[in-house]
Structure 1
């Protein structure tokens, strides 16, 4: 049974690991910005860049799902 779902399990674990890494990067960025007393505008830019990186991975996943459901292989 595990062999049948190996690819799905692998994809889920990869997505969870990437989400965890983005959370840890957020904590690290928050800590560095807090310790260095960065102004609010700088913090907003740093968080925006982190969010856009995460959004890129989400967009890639959604595009992949839509392409696979329509029969496009990649």
Structure 2
């Protein structure tokens, strides 16, 4: 199944550009797939049932660069 989907990605990108007007669809797909791969690795390194480890993962990788003194201002 995975091989089928990967082989179909160029057609999916073309369809999204032609039918839905998405620009640079392949680049967006590539970026998304890279993020999925990154997060699969990050999650594999923790116990996903441990709320503290999940919170630390989110804090370090999502919210870590947020300036709390100016966020929302």
Q: Which has the higher contact order (CA 8 A, sep 6+)?
A: 1
Q: Work out whether the TM-score is over 0.5.
A: no
Higher share of residues assigned helix: 1
Task: Compute the TM-score of the two structures, normalised by the length of structure 1.
Answer: 0.40
